Structure 1
Amino acid sequence: MIRLFKHYVPHATVLLGLVDMACLLLAGELGWVVRCRQIGSDAGPIGARLPQLLVFAVALQVALVAVGAYSAGSFRSLRFAAAKLAVAVSIGVIGLSLVFFLVPSVSFWRSNLLYAMAIAVLLLVAVRAALGRALGGETFKRRVVILGAGARGARIAALSRTPGVNFCVAGVVAMGEAGPVVEGATPRGEIDNLAAYVTDLRAVEVVLAIEERRNALPVKDLLRVKTTGVQVVDMSSFLERETGRIDLGSVNPSSLIFSDGFASGQMLSSTVKRAFDITAGLLLLGLSLPVILLTATLIKLESRGPAFYRQRRVGLFGEGFDIIKLRSMRVDAEAGGRAVWAAQDDPRVTRTGRIIRRVRIDELPQTWTVLKGEMSFVGPRPERPQFVDDLERHLPFYAERHMVKPGITGWAQINYPYGASVEDARNKLEYDLYYAKNYSPFLDLLILLQTLRVVLWPEGVR
C-alpha cells in the first residue's frame, strides 16, 4: 500500500486511478476531435486545449472518488462499477458546468462535452472489464506470514478471506501456543531458518500475532527477517492499515503514545482546518438557506411543534454545546427527557423527517455551529452526555475521541452505518480514533468527497 499524507491507499486503487486519468484525458481529446471533424474544423495542436482537457479529467476524477468508484465492489462487479461510473460522470459534468461558468476560458463546447462524456463512460467501463479481475485478484495483494497461530493469528487469517482486502496469507507459523487455532499452521520447531522460510514463501511482510508477548518475543527471528528486507509489523498496526480503523482488541496505550500521529491539534493543522470551516460554512449556509426554510415549512405543516430543535452534545475536550437540527421526529419523541437510541424504521420519525434524514438535510443548520467554532465539517460525531457517560464506562479510549473537534461528517460516518448500541459505538470509535491519529487535510478532503456517496446511497439511515 502507498501512504499518502498518513493515509494508506492500495496499489491497485492507485493504478486504477492513473489509468482512469489517462482514459479521461483521451475521452476529452476524442470528444474534441470528433466534433471538429463533424463540422469540418481543424482541431489544432493538443497543447492549445490542454487546460480544457485537464479540467475535464480532474473534475471527473474527483467525482469518481466522491461516489466510491474505487471501492472494493468496483473490482468485483462490473454492473456495480458501471452504475457508479455513470453517476460519477453525470455529477462531474454538473460540476464542470459551474467551473465553465466561473472560468469561461477552460470551457468545452456543449457538443464536445457530450461526446467526451459518452466516450469517458465507455472507456472507464472497458478498463474495469479488462483489468477488474486482475486488480481485485492476488496479483496486487501483498503476501504476508503470520507469526502466531492462536486467536490473534486466526483473526488475521479470517480477514484475508474478506472480499476487497489487500493482502493474502502466504503462511502461518505456530509459535508454541497451546492448541493452535489456525488450521495448517507450521510449528516453529519444524523451521530451521525463519528468514529463509519467509523468503521462500515470497512474503513481503511478517505480522506479529503472538498471544502472550511478555518474555516470548522472538527477537532474534524478527531481527533476521527484518535484515532480509521483509517488513515486520505488530498486529495492531497491521489492522489499522488494512481496515482503516484502530482495533480496540489489540491496541494498548503504549502503542498509541509512542506512534506517530495525533497532529490535528497542531497550530498549522488547526488553522487550515478552521479557515476551511469558515469559508465553506459561509458558502454552504448561503446556498442551503432556501432548502432549510422550505424544509422547515414542510415540518410545520406536517406536525405541531417547532421546526428546529436544540440538543446538548459533548464536544472538544469534553465540553458541552448545543447543536441545531431540523426536527425529524415527533415533539414527544423522548417523553420525560430520557435519551433513547434511534431504531431501524423508528416510529417516532415523521414522513418529512424520514426524507430529510435520508438525504441529510436535517444536518444543514449545524453549519451555524461550525461557524461558531464549536464543530468542524469533519470530525467524530458529537454524542449526547447521557450516552457518553455510559460509553466511557464500557469502551476503552472513548474519552480520547473528544481530543478532536466534533464534525458534521466523519471517517466513521462514511465507513459504518448508523449505530444504536454499545457495540455499534465501539465500531465507530475505532474509526474515530483512526481519524484522530491519522488526521491530515487530505483525509478531510477524502471524507468530504465520500460523504456524497453516503448521501446518494444512504445505507443504515435511521
Structure 2
Amino acid sequence: MIRIFSHYVSKTAFILLLLEILILLLSATLTSLIWLVDTSRIVHAGDIYLSALAFALVMVFSMSTLGMYQHRSREDIRNTLLRIMPSFALGFALLSLLIRVIPSLHFGRASLAIFALGAIGVLLARLAVFKSSESTLMEGRLILVGDGALARECMDLAASKIGFHQFTVVGCIHVPGEPCCVPASALLPAEPSLLAMAQRYDAQEIVVSVSDRRNGAFPVKQLLECALGGVRVIDAATFFERESCQIRIDSLQPSYLIYGGGFDQSFVRAASKRLFDLAASAAIFVAALPVMLATMLCIRLEDGGPVFYQQERVGRDGLPFNVLKFRSMRCDAEGDGKPTWASANDSRVTRVGHWIRKLRIDELPQMLNVFRGEMSFVGPRPERAYFVEQLKLQIPYYNIRHSIKPGITGLAQVRYHYAASVDDAVRKLQYDLYYVKNNSLFLDLLILLDTVQVVLFGKGSR
C-alpha cells in the first residue's frame, strides 16, 4: 500500500490506473493517426493529443463511477467484462456531450475503433494485473505478535481478501497473559528471536496485536531488533487503518490519535475544502434541479403534505443546526415525539419516499446547508442530538466525528449501509474516524466518485 495525500491506496490498483490511462491514450492516438493517414486529412497534432487525453480521462472517470477501481473490486474476467461494457457506454455518452462543448475534440470515423481497441486493452490489462496480484510474488507475508481477540480480527481481515492488496498471516506468536483466541494450528513454534522467526518464514512485516502491552512479557527489545533488521513493525491500529480504511475502536489507544499524525485543520485545507464544497454543491444543484422539481411535485401529489422536512442535527463542535431534506416519511412518522432509528422496509416511508431514499434524492436540499456553511459536501453524516447523547455514552471516541463539519456524503456512506443500531453506529464511526484523521481534497474526490456509484445502484438506502 502507498499513501497519497494521507489516504492509503493499493499499489496494484495505482499501477492498474496508470497502465489503463496509457493504454487508452495510445488507443486513441494511434487509431486517430491511422485514420488520418488513410483519409489524407490534415489535423493539428495538438488536437489529436488533446482528444486522446480527453478520451482517456473520460473513460477512467466512467470506470471509476461504476466501481471498477473500488476497494472491493478484485474480480474474475467475466465480471470485469460485464463492468467494462456499461462503463464504456457511459463514457461514450459523456464524450459525445463534451465534443459538443469543445468542437476541437473529434475522432472522425475512427470513434468506434478507438472504443473497441480501448476496451480490449483495458480487459487485457486487468487480466494481467489480476493474475499477477494473485501470485505469491505480489503477496505480503506477516507475523502477528499476540494470539488474543485482536489477533483473531487481524486474521479475519486477511482472510476476507479485500481489495487488490493481498497478504498472508504466516502465524501468531503467543504472548503470556493473552487469552488464546486463534486456532492452535496458527501458533508458531518458539524461536530464539522474532527476527530469526521472520527470516525463517520470509515475513516482511510484524503486526503487534497485543491488547495489554504493560506486562513484562511484551517483547519490546525483540521488536526493536526486527525494526533494525529490516522487518517492518506496525501495530494493529495501523494495520486496520491501512487495509480496511477504518480506525478500529477496539484496537485504538489514545496515543495513536495523539501521535499518529493527520487531523489536518490548516487554513489551506479549510479553504480548499470550502471551495470544493461550493463548486460540487453548485454543479450538482444545477444538474439535479429538474429532478428536484419533479420530486417536489410527486411528494405534494401523493399525500398533500409538506415537501420539505427540517430536523435538528448535531454539527461541528456539537452545535445544533436544522438539516433540510425532502420529506420521505408520513407526516406522523414520530407522532409520539420519540426519535426512532430507521429500519429496513420501514412502514413510515411513503411510496415516493421509498424511491427518493433509495436514489438519495431526499438529501439534495442539503446543498442549501452547504451554502450556509453548516455542512460540507463530504464528511460524517450529522446525527440527531437524541442519538448523539446515547452514542457518546456507549461508544468511545464518538465525539471526535464532531471536530469537522458533517457532510451530505461520506466514507461511511459509500462503504457501509444505513445505520439502524448502536452496532451499525460503531462500524460507521470507524470509517468516520479514518476520514477525520486522513481527510484531504484527494479523498473527497474519491468519495464523490463512489457516491455516484451508490446513487446509481441504490446501495445502503433504507
TM band (smaller chain): over 0.9
The answer to whether the 8 A contact 1:239-1:245 is kept is: yes
- In the TM superposition, residue 434 of structure 1 has moved relative to its aligned partner by 0.4
**Distance in 2 of aligned mates of 1:178 and 1:377:** 44
The answer to whether the 8 A contact 1:411-1:431 is kept is: yes
- In the TM superposition, residue 60 of structure 1 has moved relative to its aligned partner by 1.3
The answer to whether the 8 A contact 1:395-1:426 is kept is: yes
SS of equivalent residue, structure 1 residue 75: coil
With over 3 angstroms needed to count, the CA separation of the structure-2 counterparts of 1:198 and 1:375, relative to structure 1, is same
Partner residue of 2:53? 54
**Distance in 2 of aligned mates of 1:5 and 1:444:** 11
Residue 408 of structure 2 is aligned to residue 411 of structure 1: no
**Distance in 1 of aligned mates of 2:387 and 2:270:** 27
Partner residue of 2:307? 307
1:357-398 CA-partner distances (Å, limit 9, x unpaired): 121111111111100000010000001111111111111111
SS of equivalent residue, structure 1 residue 346: coil
The answer to whether the 8 A contact 2:171-2:188 is kept is: no
Greater CA drift, 138-147 or 378-387 = 138-147
Partner residue of 1:95? 94
* Counterpart residue type for residue 51 of structure 2: Q
SS of equivalent residue, structure 1 residue 249: helix
The answer to whether the 8 A contact 1:75-1:136 is kept is: no
* Counterpart residue type for residue 119 of structure 1: L
* Counterpart residue type for residue 147 of structure 1: V
1:271-294 CA-partner distances (Å, limit 9, x unpaired): 111122223323332332222111
Partner residue of 2:70? 71
SS of equivalent residue, structure 2 residue 273: helix
- In the TM superposition, residue 163 of structure 1 has moved relative to its aligned partner by 2.4
The answer to whether the 8 A contact 1:417-1:460 is kept is: yes
**Distance in 1 of aligned mates of 2:122 and 2:431:** 31
RMSD: 2.2
**Distance in 1 of aligned mates of 2:261 and 2:437:** 8
Alignment match of 2:117 (pick from 116, 119, 133)? 119
The answer to whether the 8 A contact 2:375-2:407 is kept is: yes
Aligned length: 458
Partner residue of 1:135? 133
SS of equivalent residue, structure 1 residue 321: strand
Partner residue of 1:379? 379
**Distance in 1 of aligned mates of 2:34 and 2:421:** 57
With over 3 angstroms needed to count, the CA separation of the structure-2 counterparts of 1:222 and 1:374, relative to structure 1, is same
**Distance in 2 of aligned mates of 1:310 and 1:122:** 50
With over 3 angstroms needed to count, the CA separation of the structure-2 counterparts of 1:441 and 1:194, relative to structure 1, is same
Greater CA drift, 273-282 or 357-366 = 273-282
With over 3 angstroms needed to count, the CA separation of the structure-2 counterparts of 1:272 and 1:95, relative to structure 1, is same
**Distance in 2 of aligned mates of 1:365 and 1:114:** 40
**Distance in 2 of aligned mates of 1:19 and 1:415:** 26
- In the TM superposition, residue 47 of structure 1 has moved relative to its aligned partner by 6.5
- In the TM superposition, residue 203 of structure 1 has moved relative to its aligned partner by 1.6
User: Aligned ranges for residues 436-447 of structure 1 at < 5 Å?
Assistant: 436-447=436-447
Which runs of 5 or more residues in structure 2 are unaligned? none
The answer to whether the 8 A contact 1:75-1:133 is kept is: no
- In the TM superposition, residue 461 of structure 1 has moved relative to its aligned partner by 1.3
SS of equivalent residue, structure 2 residue 429: helix
Partner residue of 1:40? 39
